[in-house]
Amino acid sequence: RLLRAKTEGPSGDDGYRVGATFGRVPYTCVRVKLPWEVSEETFHDNIEGEALEDKLMGMLTTQLGIDLEDLHWNGDTAAAPGGDHDFLVLNDGWWKQLVAGAHVVDGSAINSGVVSKGHFFAAYKALPNKYLRTGRVVWAMNPATRIAWVESVSNRATGAGDLALLGAEAVTKPLGIPIVDIPSLADGKVVLADPQNFIAVNTWDVRIRKATEGKSAVMNDMRYYSVFLDDDPVIEELDAAVVIDGMTLA
């Protein structure tokens, strides 16, 4: 609370001043890549011809976005690498950071763990009031968890149950707060926070490189592509977020 009374006249300046206080959020970016290769024959033996290259570029960059979302939310440097999820050990994602430092609601202790209004009330109460002033807070969950919430409301023998089946907006916004789908989050995991609190740090621009010349490209009759970037998911203020962990869908 910084506001003070003003006194009229020469004595009005009492020397009171407010300074800006800057916090510090450390980050350590790791470099990642998405390489792929396509034979020259592929571009000749298809109905789209050279137009296929633009479509492939769009598909691969879309996949890059999907993988980055997965890394941002589920990254865990302590996890055992394996299979096509090796990249998840590159960084600690937002979920791990939230469980370690944000407000955590034990979902298993409410309604025997099954998704219910009690989970959302508990999460809402756990968020300090000052962070509700922005009006930007959302519920983040995967689509299966969102549908489980709607199903729990639809099972009620009330008008709200009928509205849930019809997809009424009031029912699909628990406590009046909108839901944002995060497919990468696991079932039963929910976050209540301002999306602007989550930051993906990139210290240099995404680079897309292509090679159609050189010994390897010529001898193998191939085109080589790769996307390079550096990345680190950080959270500006852990106190401004709540997670529901341990909740089940049925």
Statement: residue 187 has pLDDT above 90: yes
- Kindly report the number of other CB atoms within 10 A of residue 61's CB atom: 13
Residue 242 burial (10 A CB sphere; 0-12, 13-18, 19+): buried
Residue type, 205: D
Tell me what percent of the chain is helix, strand and coil, each rounded to the nearest 5. Answer: 40, 20, 40
Residue 155 or residue 111, greater confidence: 111
Residue-level pLDDT at 82: 73
Q: What's the average model confidence in pLDDT over 83-99?
A: 90
Asked if residue 163 has pLDDT above 70, the reply is: no
Residue with tokens 């055992």: 80
Q: How far apart are CA 31 and CA 207, in angstroms?
A: 11
pLDDT (average), residues 2-12:
82
Q: What is the radius of gyration, based on Cα positions, of the chain?
A: 25
pLDDT at 247: 96
Q: In the chain, what percentage of residues exceed pLDDT 90?
A: 70
First to last CA, the chain: 45
Cβ pair 234, 201 in contact under 8 A: yes
Task: Bin 10: left if φ > 0, else alpha if -120 < ψ < 50, else beta.
Answer: alpha
**Integer Cα distance of 115 and 107 in angstroms:** 8
Q: Which pLDDT score, from 0 to 100, does residue 79 have?
A: 86
Q: Which residue has the higher pLDDT, 34 or 162?
A: 34
pLDDT for 84 equals 66
The letter for the amino acid at 191 is V
Structure tokens at 72: 């941002």
* Whether pLDDT at 166 is above 80: no
Q: Over the stretch 68-86, which tens digit does the pLDDT of each residue have?
A: 999 999 999 998 877 767 8
- Whether 228 contacts 209, CB under 8 Å: yes
- Binned at pLDDT 50, 70 and 90, residue 98 comes out as very high
Mean pLDDT of the chain: 90
| Residue 232 exposed, middle or buried by CB count within 10 Å (0-12, 13-18, 19+) | buried
pLDDT in tens, 103-147: 999 999 999 999 999 999 999 999 999 999 989 999 999 999 999
